[in-house]
A and B are shown apart, each in its own frame.
Chain A
Amino acid sequence: MSALYTGPKVCMWTLDHPNPGSLATYVANGGYEVLKKILAEKTPAEQIIEQVKLSALRGRGGAGFPTGLKWSFMPRNYAGDKYIVCNTDEGEPGTFKDRDIIEFNPHQLIEGMVIAGYTLGAKAGYNYIHGEIFELYESWERALDEARAAGFLGNDICGSGWNFDLHAHQGYGAYICGEETALLESIEGKKGQPRFKPPFPASYGLYGKPTTINNTETLASIPWILRHGGQAFLELGKPNNGGTKIFSISGHVNNPGNFEIPLGTPFGDLLEMAGGVRNGHKLKAVIPGGSSAPVLPADIMMNCTLDFDSIAKAGSMLGSGAVIVMDETVCMVKALERLAYFYYEESCGQCTPCREGTGWMYRVIKRIEHGEGRPEDLDLLMSVGGNIAGRTICALGDAAVGPVHSFIQHFRKEFEYHIAHKKCLVGS
């Protein structure tokens, strides 16, 4: 990686070692020590949650919800079974970080899940793995076997007498199954459709039992936090945005890929690490947090640091850290057509506004792109989007509207040119 950041890495440190995904590499570098210590000392759950809260670890799946707070929602004295679920349904276009954790540091995720299971009193854990990465599903299963054989998983973990097991669940590639309650439905063998909340999973989750669902990167950060302390994690990043985070940068850069850097790093630094905008081109726009995050024009983006608060202030979302870079050759109408198609295709169809509205928006944008736009179309799109956002069971409705509203807001001229001239402003 670039020399711009040389400090500690929470998740991807194994890449500096041979056989990065192996149990041997992990154990040789202090892996599973935290788990052993917790089990040996019977560390109270409150203490663990306290450290996680102190770390200001925020959910890495996109919503950025404080993990320690989420954990504290789980009923402590619930009599029946409880579950912990890891969300590796990495379906957000532009995001490809969790797959690298599974490939290059699966044991840190296992350790994180086992500790989460211990802390939350769960009976078992599930890792829901995206449908398109079957080879990683298999390698994850192998890692689980290794961990079981080494006594870190299964019965009598580390000789403590405590039992906890993890299971993998293969998704089938539906974007909506990344929504945590649709994911639960899918594990239960039902059609992946989000549930209405309340009740939230912490009270009515998997099989109707209290359940905590965290993103892969979130859970994989837990062992590091408990080993080095919540304060150390917090200090890696900035207040309210603890830790490093993996950014998946793609699009028009010379060196796309995953980069683990502290939260709060200026966007310019990440762009530089990724080799800058591809040769001879100029930065036009950036989608900073995966396809559902509103697009930001270059000038706004270049003034942002990469953390939840800064990007939110600029009017978008840090999301899953999927940074999609677009240079001046990009037709924003065509780009939006592609994004709108994605949400139209991936809407589960359950709620009326999203089921009907995503198709409507896509068709109008498609028309504009194909030179059949009408002057009233832009207002129509803003209005239709407004009727979807905030009116659906899950956030997919909002996610589908984010791009539409932001593209029109920031690049309205391009859309108007398309409508008026029946051709693209870019390159004409």
Chain B
Amino acid sequence: MPVITIDDKQVEIAAGATVMDAARDLGIYIPHFCYHEKLSISANCRMCLVEVEKAPKPLPACATPAADGMVVRTRSGKAITAQKGVMEFLLINHPLDCPICDQGGECMLQDIAVGYGGSASRYQEAKRVVKEKDLGPLVATDMTRCIHCSRCVRFGQEVAGIMELGMPGRGEHMEVMPFLERQVGSELSGNVIELCPVGALTSKPFRYAARSWELSRRRGISPHDGLGANMALHVKDNRVFRAVPLDNEAINECWLADRDRYAYQALGAEDRATRPMVRDADRWHEVDWQKALAQAAGALKVIRETHGAEAIGFLASPHQTVEELALMAQLARGLGCENIDHRLDQADCPPDVGAPWLGMAIADLDSLDRVLLVGATVRMEQPLIAQRLRQAVKRGAQLNVVHAADDDLLTRVANKIIVKPSALAAALAGIAKALQEAGKDVGSVSAALSGAVVTDAARAIAASLASGERKAVLLGGMARQHPARADLHRLAQAIALATGAHFGFLVDSANAVGASVVGCTPGAAGLGAAAMVAQPRKAYVLLGIEPYLDSYDPMVLRKAMESAELVIALTAFKGAAPNYAHVILPVAAFAETEGAYVNMEGRLQTFKAAVKPLGEARPGWKVLRVLGNLLGLSDFDYTGVEDVRAAALPADEAGLRARLDNTAPQGEPSIAASSAGLERLGETPIYQADSLVRRAPALQATPLSEHAKVCWAHGALIRKLGLQEGKPVKIRQDAGESIMKLGRDDRLAEDAVRIAGAHALTSKLGSRYGAVQLEKM
């Protein structure tokens, strides 16, 4: 192995390593600004200049390839002179307004200036001032502070996949700016805040709210998708002020999606449930916990005695903790009820064989050679998974897509089949048949393929998946919610088996895997979420649910809620609960409770509460424990959250892993031709994914939130129906109707209309992927 000497210490050099890499291996810090491990090398800040023996000039450590026998000095007179010279240049036009800068106290420029800057400046001329830029509701700018390291620009090009910021202008007049005064709108845009080594790009919602040194850092896990991004919650006076990423290469690397970063805003939402409430006829009363719990338990007992335990339905959000979901399941089963589910947004809720999961490690996504994404609006469902797939494509992976919309994934898509939702199964059958024709064994689905049509695209996808070494077939959130979920599952799994690919689900809620593992799904005798609302129950116990938004079909659900004799809502937010609930039990929100999530790769991540629950709210697990006690159920004597977890989860990782299972439901897939007519594409929009993001004002002010307020249709369809783009359109679905602005999106399948699910504007419509009509106003 070649060896390099840095500051008299020797280290072996890995292939392709730079002097900076070798120094890091030796634990030697070389000051730098533009260099970032996850970005390309630009070598333009010049802060990392070091002395290299035999080189006449100091060289940038970040860009200089480490070579055998090279002798480097990072602290020699020559190196320090160069570094101090660069530092002086960086500071001459920097405003040095640290006392009013949000970056103060956590600023690379400030930190490095302590070591390399002078105590007074030799620069006596006027300083540069740069006009402010409006980057939208998430990122605040102070562009005069910019040191032109270009990290934010490279992040856009290389990680987010979209170059939203550029650096026009020359010399001193070079400025970082968005294109043509546009705002920054990508789902990952907030990452430029950490990347920016100075206070040029900071968090807009956090602006002037606190100084970094006043904040305590508490570890947290993002509660919005199945990734489980690691983050630090910054807390002062029992309030979360911001969320920033914590590095975890296996999960989120050093990134956060914008919703991970800004959803904390919802903790202060106006409709937080802070006191227990009971309804007396049509009047709500705030009561103490004892009374509320007694009333809830008493009413549940009455329902069970009068109608039987099966008259109760238990619905829980898959964003709740392992412990809360386990106690919910224990409560239901203790009452003798098997009607429990966390899949309210799913059309088809079969009993689980095991917990559906990713089927592979998250970190291995980057090194895939071949990918087939089925029914995944992946950038919106999984912003950081989409980022990993982008890196895979950059390394040469072929990304294949079967979906109802040809959304811009900001990367190269090798092959795609874009059809309306009900035709997805037939599309997969075409791929399976193409594999069969190519001599692959597609197993149990073979009999169902006789009617399948093999298109050129299907053949191309089959050929793509048949080649390559590391591959995966992944079902997205849309496929999971879809009425034909079981068929999509069977076919996709057959394709994966035939091609030797991993098979898995891009799990789109924080703890859906955990929910399945702890039994928050119906037993053989029970009803799944869809059946529980289609066949209304007398009573419902809701945990963290906003039924009108979280359900697959809000029309059906609305009837079920309105006809129930008893609805007990355990929730952090009142939302619409006063309209249908009878008891509201305020439970702690994200960041206010301790617990655990199991992410999509089956990794258990625990966390402590960062702040105390707001008002009189209590951690959900404690509320459920008391309810269990009041109902006289056995084994509810937990003393801590660890007890609950220990009882609910297998003792070790292997045991947890054994509960993960992607086996498709038995039976043959049906690939019947899809019905004629328009179909709705009603995915959950990125900033409607859960109760928190719905209440984060900054997220709600983004272009992505605006996008969800529009009914999108293909241009050809708009012409065919004689509709007008930009004008309101009447949407009819089942018995419901709604009026939305019509937008044109030629990336949609021609007979699919994208009308967001989980949205207040569409909560009076029917099923998410059902038939829909558009009418002129």
Contact = CB atoms under 8 A, between A and B. Distances in A.
Interface stretch (B52-60, B734-742, B743-751): B52-60
Given A353-B89, A360-B92, A390-B56, A347 B41 contact: no
B345 to A, nearest CB: 45
Contacts of B170: 174, 176, 345-349
Contact of B46 (A191, A344, A353, A386): A353
A329 interface: no
Interface in A45-100: none
Contacts of B3: none
Nearest to B34: A352
Interface residues of B, number: 36
A330 interface: no
B297 interface: no
Interface stretch (B171-179, B187-195, B405-413, B523-531): B171-179
A352 B148 CA distance: 8
Contacts, number: 95
A346 B45 CA distance: 18
Contact of B88 (A191, A196, A367, A387): A387
Q: Which of B82, B86, B169 is most buried by chain A, counting CB atoms within 10 A of its CB?
A: B86
Contact of A352 (B56, B63, B90): B90
B307 to A, nearest CB: 71
Interface string A239-265: 000000000000000000000000000
A198 interface: yes
Q: Which of B58, B123, B169 is most buried by chain A, counting CB atoms within 10 A of its CB?
A: B123
Nearest to B60: A196
B90 A356 contact: yes
Nearest to B122: A380
Interface residues of A, number: 32
A344 B128 CA distance: 14
B154 to A, nearest CB: 13
A391 interface: yes
Contact of A349 (B82, B86, B89, B169): B169
B629 interface: no
B144 interface: no
Given A352-B148, A360-B92, A390 B43 contact: no
A359 B171 contact: yes
A319 interface: no
A102 B58 CA distance: 40
B171 A357 contact: no
Contacts of A386: 85
A349 B148 contact: yes
A352 B125 contact: no
A220 B148 CA distance: 40
Given A196-B63, A352-B47, A346 B167 contact: no
Q: Which of B82, B126, B148, B170 is most buried by chain A, counting CB atoms within 10 A of its CB?
A: B170
B65 A352 contact: no
Contacts of B47: 352
Nearest to A344: B171
B93 interface: yes
Contacts of A176: 170
Nearest to B147: A352
Contacts of B43: 196, 393
Nearest to B43: A196
Given A353-B86, A360-B123, A392 B46 contact: yes
A387 B89 contact: yes
A196 B173 contact: no
Nearest to A348: B170
A393 B86 CA distance: 13
B125 A391 contact: no
A356 B93 contact: yes
Contacts of A345: 170-171
B42 interface: yes
B31 to A, nearest CB: 12
Nearest to B91: A356
B60 A191 contact: no
Contacts of B46: 351-353, 391-392
A358 interface: yes
A387 B85 contact: yes
Contacts of A348: 170-171, 174
Contacts of A356: 89-90, 92-93, 172
11 contacts: A191-B167, A198-B65, A345-B171, A348-B174, A352-B89, A353-B85, A353-B89, A355-B171, A360-B89, A364-B125, A386-B85
Interface of A: 174, 176, 191, 196, 198, 344-360, 363-364, 367, 380, 386-387, 390-393
Given A353-B89, A360-B92, 12 more contacts: A196-B41, A196-B42, A196-B63, A349-B170, A349-B172, A350-B174, A354-B171, A355-B148, A355-B172, A359-B171, A367-B125, A391-B58
Interface of B: 41-47, 49, 56-58, 60, 63, 65, 82, 85-86, 88-90, 92-93, 122-123, 125-126, 147-148, 167-174
